[in-house]
Amino acid sequence: MREEGRSDAAALLVELGLTPKLTIYLAGAPGAGKTHRLLSDAVFEARAGRRVAIGWVETKDRPQLEALAAQLPRIPPRRFTAGSVAVDDFDLEAALASDYETIVLDELAHSNPAGATHAKRWQDAQALRAAGKSVVGAFNVMHLDTVAPVAERIVGYPIRELVPVAFLRKADRVIALDIAPSVLESRLRTGRIVRNDDVERAAAGLFQPKNLGMMRELLLRVVDDLTIPVVSPSKVSIALAVVTGAADPEPFVRRAAAFADALDLALETTALDGADSGELAEVTLRADGGVIPVPDGLPRGDLRAVRASVLIVPRGPLADHILEHPLDRDLLIVDPAGSAGASFESERHPYGFALGDRLRIGYGKLTIYLGSVAGSGKTYAMLDRAHQLMEDGVDVVAALVETHGRSETIAQLNGIEQIPRLPNGEMDIERLLERHPKVALIDELAHTNLSAGARAKRYDDVIAVLRNGIDVMTTLNVQHFEGVGDPVERLTGTRVRETLPDSVLEFADEVVFVDVTPDVLRQRLRDGRIYPRHKIDAALSNFFRTENLAALRELAVREVLRARSERRRERPFARIVLGVAPRERDVALIVRAGRLARRIDVDLRVVAVTKLDDPATRAAVDALQRATAAVRGTFVAAEAADAAVRVVASLAEGDVLAVESPRKRRGLFGKHSFAVRTLAAGAREMLVLAPRERTPPS
């Protein structure tokens, strides 16, 4: 993680391993694999030529951990005595005096014995980094001081060993170790977490599925909160709702929260023009948001100090001021008089037919390993879980696994039965169904099959396999969801070609987040572990820029939280009506609006208005009509002398009018923008989309 105020140059030195760094693995519960991850990474560093030693780990006599630990030197423990009691613990002084570059230090929340230099082990970690040594450490999220009060209510007992969140914020890397509750329960029952005589007590406490689920959510929210901020307003993952006047703010904030939630944005609010700040704070808290002071210049419509990618304001003078200038971010204008009764519920579900099938006996279970980007370790994590299942006697086969030539992945695939591929390299689903294992590994869920047919996408194959009673474990990157295409393009400047419905996450029985920090990804890229050598430089300077990777990581965290949420989701409006000009440039606008409509699960209507005496626009209108059909919208071509009046006349109750922001500032005698003219013509609610530059698909 980047400290507040740390320069880009200093951050780059840390990323390249030229300065000491503190890496923390954060888990939701015991048994998540912290020690295994610490030791595995330490062994990898040692093989890369760094001087690495174990300061303190607890292997608990597990053969796999013992084998990893045996590959590393250990700093001998120090014996502490208190009266007649003697204990061995980490020897900070010996570690500081050693020539080791990296120290492995588990259980950072641990309280040191009397006589130690510091009261807590996390303080030892700070001292090591201050002395020029890197530290790889871990602890469970319940020990974080900001989380402990909530965790205590979940686990039912006091948590006495605490780590301050300030320590976590100063870490160079904080990596979430996400793990499914079912896996933790299996590890618990097989004696791999607590002693056999403690299993039932643990199962009735923290390890209840509901409790583990809540701890997972706390883990992901902590990581989300620590994500590196970016500077460009369009790339900040925040929606700012501006509350004005003395009216009840709750309906407006609920609308804003529904829109922010659809775009995976964190909600912030601020108050202008006599709004009750105390009441706003309570309403915002219920919407899972935060209240901020009024940014400088905002009352005048100046957005330069506004740190948000989407601004949500009531219809009125503030909206008019903002629309006097071209926008560098999206703007949602809400009717304050109409927001009180606006709540739109969705009855459609793109996978409704499949979800119904889930109730049938014998349907397989779907587990998705979700990552932020290629190289995050999804396939490796899936294969690691496959080996664990095989050790427990489960019949597992690799129906299709993409190793991309990565040596670690190839090694993980060894020992797992593989189904031969078809001559074109695709999965042989017929042979898989005939083999009928308990679990099938099917990589890269968003892949488009080479041969067109009834199953054009790999997720169609996966559904067919599930219907035949076979469990499936698969992998997916967050940018491949249809509904996040617009945020991904906004954050990274890249359009993603291969997509699949967002509802796949809801369809899954389990979603496991595979976390990795931007600097680790960039180092893996430099090491040739993600792309071929000839693609590395281009990737580092484009898609794999630190701010892009941080943004995608945050997006992945929020998608997992969204998938696990049991809250009933509201739609901010009933339909999107997009007003376009008769020009082919607006095809891209239709694509954006179509993605947003699918994300919110509303209909899209595209209205193109031409002048009464302009027959030369037929080709452009045809292109717009084809684009509308491609995004499953309805298209209306109309002739009118005043396009703004005609578009507004087509609006119905619950509609939001979507238009593109002007690209240039209005001249002294120039006409007002289309957005301003539609407001003047009577549009009550409007979504003004900031222009996007054309970018190649990924």
Q: Can you give the pLDDT at residue 613?
A: 66
In this predicted model, which residue has the larger pLDDT, 214 or 357?
214
In a domain, residue 1? The reply is: no
In a domain, residue 204? The reply is: no
Tell me the mean pLDDT in the region 133-154.
Answer: 94
E strand segments, 430-470 = 439-442
In this structure, the number of other CB atoms found within 10 A of the CB of residue 353 comes to 9
In terms of domains, do 374 and 490 share one? yes
Indicate the residue type of 676. Answer: V
Question: What percentage of the chain exceeds 70 in pLDDT?
Answer: 89
Structural tokens at position 115: 């006589």
Closest to 262 in 3D by CA, of 634, 576, 578: 576
Structural tokens at position 476: 């997916």
What is the C-alpha separation between 156 and 640, in angstroms, rounded? 68
In terms of domains, do 121 and 56 share one? yes
In terms of domains, do 239 and 273 share one? yes
In terms of domains, do 447 and 327 share one? no
Question: What percentage of the chain exceeds 90 in pLDDT?
Answer: 47
In this predicted model, which residue has the larger pLDDT, 266 or 564?
266
Domain stops at, among 564, 587, 616: 564
575-580 and 603-610 beta bridge pairing: parallel
- Packing angle of the helix pair 148-155, 209-226 (nearest 10 deg): 170
Q: Can you give the pLDDT at residue 13?
A: 53
Indicate the residue type of 203. Answer: A
In terms of domains, do 548 and 584 share one? no
In terms of domains, do 243 and 313 share one? yes
Query: What CATH number should be reported for the domain holding residue 658?
Result: 3.40.50.12370
What is the C-alpha separation between 641 and 646, in angstroms, rounded? 8
In a domain, residue 197? The reply is: no
Indicate whether 16 pLDDT > 70: no
| pLDDT band at residue 227 under the 50/70/90 scheme | low
Q: Can you give the pLDDT at residue 132?
A: 94
In terms of domains, do 492 and 452 share one? yes
Mean pLDDT rounded to a whole number for the chain: 86
| pLDDT band at residue 612 under the 50/70/90 scheme | low
Tell me the mean pLDDT in the region 630-652.
Answer: 92
The 3-class secondary structure across 288-341, one letter per residue, is CCEECCCCCCHHHCCCCCCCCCEEEEECCHHHHHHCCCCCCCEEEEECCCCHHH
Indicate the residue type of 175. Answer: I
Tell me the mean pLDDT in the region 651-675.
Answer: 82
Lowest mean pLDDT: which of 162-166, 232-236, 325-329, 627-631? 232-236
Number of structural domains in the chain: 4
What is the C-alpha separation between 330 and 491, in angstroms, rounded? 13
- 185-207 exposure pattern, b = at least 16 Cβ within 10 A, e = fewer: bbbbeeeebbeeeebeebeeebb
| pLDDT band at residue 639 under the 50/70/90 scheme | confident
Tell me the mean pLDDT in the region 613-632.
Answer: 87
356 CB-near residues (< 8 Å, 6+ apart): none
Indicate whether 357 pLDDT > 70: no
Q: Phi and psi at residue 49, in whole multiples of 5°?
A: 105, 0
- pLDDT, one tens digit per residue, over 466-492 is 999 999 999 999 999 887 877 787 777
In terms of domains, do 378 and 447 share one? yes
In this predicted model, which residue has the larger pLDDT, 563 or 330?
330
Domain stops at, among 135, 152, 175: 175
Indicate whether 350 pLDDT > 60: no
Q: Can you give the pLDDT at residue 347?
A: 45
Q: Can you give the pLDDT at residue 345?
A: 53
In this structure, the number of other CB atoms found within 10 A of the CB of residue 598 comes to 22
Query: What CATH number should be reported for the domain holding residue 485?
Result: 3.40.50.300
Measure Cα distances from 388 to 187, 416, 483 in Å: 10, 11, 34
Contact 237, 561 (CB under 8 A): no
Q: Phi and psi at residue 592, in whole multiples of 5°?
A: -60, -45
Q: Can you give the pLDDT at residue 580?
A: 93
Tell me the mean pLDDT in the region 133-162.
Answer: 92
In terms of domains, do 278 and 426 share one? no
Contact 238, 268 (CB under 8 A): yes
In a domain, residue 423? The reply is: yes
What is the C-alpha separation between 63 and 655, in angstroms, rounded? 62
In this structure, the number of other CB atoms found within 10 A of the CB of residue 588 comes to 17
Q: Phi and psi at residue 267, in whole multiples of 5°?
A: -100, 130
CA atoms 622, 627, 632, 633: torsion sign: negative
In terms of domains, do 369 and 487 share one? yes
Half-sphere exposure of 125 (CA within 13 A, CB side): 28
In a domain, residue 462? The reply is: yes
Contact 55, 105 (CB under 8 A): yes
Q: Residue 607 is part of which domain span?
A: 575-689
